[in-house]
Structure 1
Amino acid sequence: MSADASQSAGKPADNPFGLTPGAWAGAGRPLTTWRLPLINGVAAAAIIGAVGFRLWEAHLPQYAVQEELVLIGAGVVFAVLAIAVRASRLATSLAIQLPLIVVAAVLTVLVLGVAGPWLGDDLPPLAAAAFATILLHFELGLHARRFAYLFVIAIAGLAALWIYAVTALMVSFGAIAIWSLVLLGTGLLAYLTRRTIDQDLGVQVDRQASLLGSISDLGEGLLITEDGKYVASNEAYLKLTGYSPEELRALPTLIDLAPLEERETLTANLSKRFRGGDAPVRYQAGMIAKGGGRLRVEVAIHQIPSDGPHRLLALVSDISERHRAELAERESEMRFRTLFEQAQAGMTFAGLDGKIMSVNPAYCELLGYTPDELKSMSIFDVTHPDDVEATKEAQRQMMAGDETKYRFEKRFLRKDGEQVWTDVAVRLVRDTDGKPLYFQTVIVDIGDRKRNEVLRSARFAVTQALVTAPGWDKAAPHVLEGLCQTLDWELAEYWEVDAPREAMHFVTSWKRPGRDTSAYETTSRETSFRRGEDLGGQVWELGVPVAITDVSADGSARSAAAAAAGLKGIVGFPVRSGRRVVGMISLHTWAPRHMDEGLVAVMNDIGSQIGEFVERKRAELALQESEKRMRSVLDNVSDGLATLDSTSVIESANPAVVKLFGYLEEELVGQPIDMLIATTHRSGFVNYLQRRLKLDLPSSGAHETMGKRKNGSLFPLEFVVSSMHVGTRHLFIGTMRDISERKAHTDALEYQALHDALTGLPNRSLFGDRLRQALLSARRNQRMFGVLLLDLDRFKDINDALGHDRGDSLLQEVTARLRGVLRATDTIARLGGDEFAVLTTDAKHPDDVVSTARKILASLEGPFAIGDQMVETGASIGIALYPVHGDDPGTLLRRADVAMYVAKRSGGGCSVYAPEQEAQSLRRSGLAGELRRSIPQGEMTLHYQPQIMLASGSVYSVEALVRWNHPREGLMPPDRFIPMTEETGVIHPLTAWALDSALEQLCKWLAAGIDVSVALNVSPRIIEDHSLEEMVAQALASSKVDPRRLTLEITEGVAMAAAAAKALHTLNEMGVRLSLDDFGTGYSSLLYLMRLPVHEIKIDRSFVAGLGTDPDSGAIVRSAVGLGHNLGLRVVAEGLQDRLAEGVLVEAGCDAAQGFLYGRPVPEAEMTAQLMTNPGSKGAAIESDAREAAPAETPSTTS
């Protein structure tokens, strides 16, 4: 069951009804609360009296009398306590009754046991009387429905006393027989008592059940309970709960049928009623049926008078449906109240006379009144006068029954006088008899919608005029007409800003038929506004609408004409393109008129729309002209050009694309650009293109790929994508060029960059790469390999005696013999001059490497036929082994070089590196320590060699070359000490000294009027440790020389190193020029070369030496010149020695040259004299050609 809302929920108590000792009677005959205690008291007194009397007759000894008195006293106390407990509420507890029974039995046994020896055969009657008392408790247990428990206790007690009497007291057989008969009689008495109770109970229950069954037709559940437990009920109650009578009787209490949250409240109410307190006679509660379903019942209770247990007659009615209906009604009422109070729409209830009865907050907020103010008014007091009659008519129709509800748009008047457009829904509420009661009204503010309708009408009129007209000049009259018609104005004008003349002038107008305004319009055509002047000037300057209430009286240039035409109000609105005012629309009327927010919003929006239209039409015209010009350019360039959209689809292609790929333009348009790319290269091309289109760069780096013609043939293709804006359009331009010829040159240069031109062998760079690969492989596989450095004997003598041509032929023959004795897996390289290197990777033992060296020596023993000469030479070979002699390329090469010098000093042959050889080499040179003192002692000096512009023959720069004026050795070239400076670290101070000295000398030449620049070689070591940038910055700061007059020369190998990139870019940002030295002998990647910030390349002397006699050298030089110019670099040839080679260089287009033909390196005094006679041409020393723009690497300071 579920209690009323007024009743609190709680947990059920242990004794929910607060029952009295009469609760021990289940449903039997009535017993008063004093009868059982009286019986107990009489029985206890009789036993104590009988025992006392017999003991007095027996003349017990003193100690026995004392014991009995103590026991009898305890019995008296227990009897009093038992009577008190039995008469109290504690009698309902089995936990109290059990100890009472046990104590009674124990006291009885003790009393009889002490008195036994003195009583003899009188003991059995006394024992029988004692156990009769115990069986009284048994009878009570029967009434309390605790028969099972107490019967076991009683039987156990009787058996114990029986055994005790027979064994301990030694009672005679006759006494035992008498005692047994007494006990049997007592048991029979208990049985008959129980049967009588059961019969009484059955009669009463049957009678009650019969009564309840006879009134089942009432449809209500009738129930009789006793102390909260089920006794009987009618069929309606059983059907309501779903339980059988047996199941209900098994429940501890019927309170268990109630929900947990209501049990405590129900228990408290019933307890009050039993105590005669103020408890409800009728209440509602929840009930849980057998299936778990919840019911709502109404219970009416009546207490049945009784001296014993508390009995109740309860009428139980199922009110679940009524309860749910009441809840739904309360919830509906609450929802309506919430809706009424919180609704965004205004709501009101008004009487049939229009008197306002109730309003919600939204209604008050909409009209600006308080609730009390509105309740003192009628609906018609707040209705716009023009809408009062329509409101009354709607009410009359609803009162007449023609309409049950009405909906229309009407205007209300706010408290501040402002009108409010609303959507009104009115319903007439009637009672059940159809009698009208009151009007219920809901109003919604539709002011924004009304303004939007005007806005849509004006916008539609303007948009229709703009869409249907080819240009603004045709659209303007229709736009002005649409504004006047939709916004209710008489005359509209359009004025346009003429930015070059800094004025706003009249363009066109439209007016409604009727009054003559021609004089006013003529005045407008003759008028122009300056910024800030009059109506148009203020709109132009402020960029906001400006209103004049009466233009006929404002004293402006048009006021007289306005007065004559009868015009009063005028409002000017800016026409915008972005934030820029490009014109004005002015609206005129016959009466004074103010701006409102709706009009401003409409005209601001339309002004922006018109401005955008005007600017778009101008942009379209400009775009058409631009596209014509661009098309003309595209059709006349030699490179293939295609315009692409943002998805890389071709929009147009010039004739060069058609010629390059063999497609017609119609076949290309609409196709993706990657259709022109070979399938194998398409993925990389698409990635490149997508990155560029996403980045949206003005221009991008070139992408080399493979083009595919319509006939399926493939060719190398260079593709560059760039973006541009043509008017408002954003286009991408794809530039395509066939680079087949350049690719062939590039491939040749790539090969030449990694191979020796004379012998075709790998050069130092390629050998270094293969050495690094061999190191990686050997570390991974734990294998050894050998590095052999080979230097030819007497080669310099042969070269000097027979000439360079014969020397070159000898090198070629040596190469052929080396290839003949070495395996395919060995690498042979020419490192320069007569120095070769061999890498053996298949060696399994050091002896294998030595054996290879001996094979090489053996192959060189026979004479060489060089022309008509027979030449003999030998070789000195140094050997270094991995990992014994080193685990990096530099160490292995250096130690192989040390071993080679040992072999050469020993007269040839081969030598395997030993640690003591390196120390001997340093001691042999004797220069390491002297190098550190050479700079402070002033032993270092600079020599200069001129660099000549081939076109003019003028000196534009000089190269500064370090020489060591050794105290004993004399003037030493750099190749004898520069490597040692790099090993010892002297290269750093030497470079700083060379920079300072060269720039100091340059300052002197410039002060003397000699227009010249200076160039220096830089060492890789300086670049590798990133110290070059700071050295150069300090030298330039000290000398204050223009950085463009300083050129730093770096080798190809150094420039290609990743570590050099940062240094080169830093130097380039300083303004220093950078030159790539010994071009063609390194292993530079041309793609990487394109990214290097170098300004010039110097063709290696080995290529220049063969010009005029060797066609291959000429082809290589011409390729190098073409490559340099294509990359925007100056090309310088070094090592020029004859006029024939000079002619070839001039013919190839080489920019400059350097070599013995123009002068050997000389001290500064001699070079000054040469420069004074050939000072160079103005502007040659500092070239500002746009092709040059990037820095190089570190100083080597070599000759």
Structure 2
Amino acid sequence: MPSSRPRSRRASLLSSEVLDRSRILDTLVNNLDGMVYRCLNDENWSMVFVSQGCQRLTGYSADQILQDPGFSWNRITHPEDRGRVSEALGWAIASRQRFAVEYRIITASREVKWILERGVPVLNEQGELVLEGLMEDISQQKAMVESLEQAEERFRHIFENASEGIFQSTREGRYLAANQALARLYRYDSPEQLIDELSDLDQRLYVDPERRNEFLRLMKSSGEVLNFESEILRRDGSRLWISENAHEVWDARGRFVCYEGTVQDISERKHYQEQLERQANHDLLTGLPNRTLLADRLEQGLAQATRLGYYLCVVFIDLDNFKFINDGLGHAVGDLLLKEVAERLGGCLRASDTVARLGGDEFVLVINSHYQVSTVISLLERVLREVNRPVLLDGREFQVGASLGVAMFPDDGRDADSLLKRADIAMYAAKKVGRNNFQFFTEDLNRIANDRLNIEAAMRLALEQDGFEVYYQPKVDGQRRIVGVEALARWFHPELGPVGPDRFIPIAEETGLIQPLTVAILRRAFAAARCWNQDRVEPLRVAVNLSPLLFIGQDLVQRLGDLLDEAQLAANCVEVEITETVFLGDKDRAVKVLEELRTLGVQLAMDDFGTGYSSLSYLRHFPLDVVKIDRSLVTDVESEEEVAMIAGAAISLGKRLRKRVVAEGVENQAQFDFLCEQGCDEFQGFLFSRPVPAAAIDRMLEAGGVLSACG
């Protein structure tokens, strides 16, 4: 039994917490830039509570507003606005809806102020309908709008008759005014249409959104931009190069009003410049960057890699057997091959990467922003596969390989020349090994690459030979009765030894092996679950993890249903565990798949709850049945007060949302006792059992299915 001292301490903490909340609420309300209020639903909207902000807002003290029988809020409301305010408040009360209304008041000093009142009808302590809300002074905003309207009127004639595009815009990227010439330039029917539709300049106007940031930077530093060139998107989707001249406009009080400027079409001049630059920086045969542009791209990539701490990868490529084709079939056929290879290489890379041609059959790849060697290896394998695909030349089919040499920044060199030289050395090493392969300049990276390739090859063989096993970790309820298990893939290779999931799962996802691996695991887990659920009243659920990559395919639900039918297993015996990364891609599709899974009858669980940054919204909006409290919220829960508070809050949240709450990583009795006390439904961890083969689960169930502490 827990001692009374901790219980007393918790009560004391709760008491002080209530006091703190009251003090904080009072401070917050009375320091708001506005007036918090409660008023009656009567003819004069009689105030029964106002915050201290009333003095700043109205010039009247709280006592005057609340105790002076001659005071009424309706009286200080501007006569021209009273009817409109009454109508808005009456609608809110009738519909029990929140409201927001702007109107004028007359202060104690006879000053007219514009205010924004937002509130909601509620029932007070006696069950009577009252209004509660916040009033804020918006006079300055109103004055700004009036000032801008006056400025627009003064300059309207210039706007409408100028031959150049003229505009006024806000810092936030919205046009305040535009003339007909600008609308015509951007392919809008009228200035009004341009202003209405073009409300986000950085995303909808500039082809490169960073140009807007550069525009703002120049404005901030010098107050103007001169001959600012940008490529923009017109309303019909066509592109146009423009030159802007603009400056800041300030009012008499030194307050910013807008940006004001002119726009000219410079497309013809810009296209001529681009033609000259392309001829100087691109290979004439393939259209790829040449040696000059490659040097520039390398310098940019090195600067970015240094700043962000990523790898930069330089790959030197030499085609195998090119000389045979070029000499045997002629240079025209050789040129066709080079153009085909250039296109295939470009198709392998992202827009941020570079493929360049140095001359002859030599190409260079500059691969940016990779933080894992494994992703570089996957890309290199794709390059080899693409180059090695058969190509039709002069009516005959040929297969051309490539030798790739790889140098990595910062390990193999810190400047462009060093990286190119060492990638060239590695390329010759690839030719010596046997061509149509890649070699890293660094031996350690070569070892990693070989290890990864060995694991991938071994995985393919293991899948063909049913070499993966499934272990199961029990889940228990508060009485330590087994109510479910989690199926976990395990791999024991005769030569590699035990290969952990942290090694083989990422490779499976990168190579496309995750689908056959998942099918193999599900088939075994479903067969075992069918045996365990024979003659059971309450289903013993088997939980299976699904990779987010499986949600990209079109047949996940169908395939899962087929496996259930094959095992003759009821869907309510299966719990599908996902992580929030499922929703980071096509969220709508992910939700659709989850709804189809729920229709199939399986339970849906959010794994690793408490570790991401969007889990709370997922609990509310997505069709989830279970949340699994991450082990990081369980570790030290028995000894760290802050950890205990966070874990308790997570459990409480899950229960309030009517989810089944499972805690994983339970390793000692104190953690189990705490989680039970907080209302957790199920528990999983080394306190009860490590992951074990199916036969061990059989023995546990035959012995009654109640687990004592794991020895």
Q: Same fold (TM over 0.5)?
A: no
TM normalised by structure 1 equals 0.26
What TM-score do the two structures reach when normalised by structure 2? 0.43
Looking at CA atoms only, which structure, 1 or 2, has the larger radius of gyration? 1
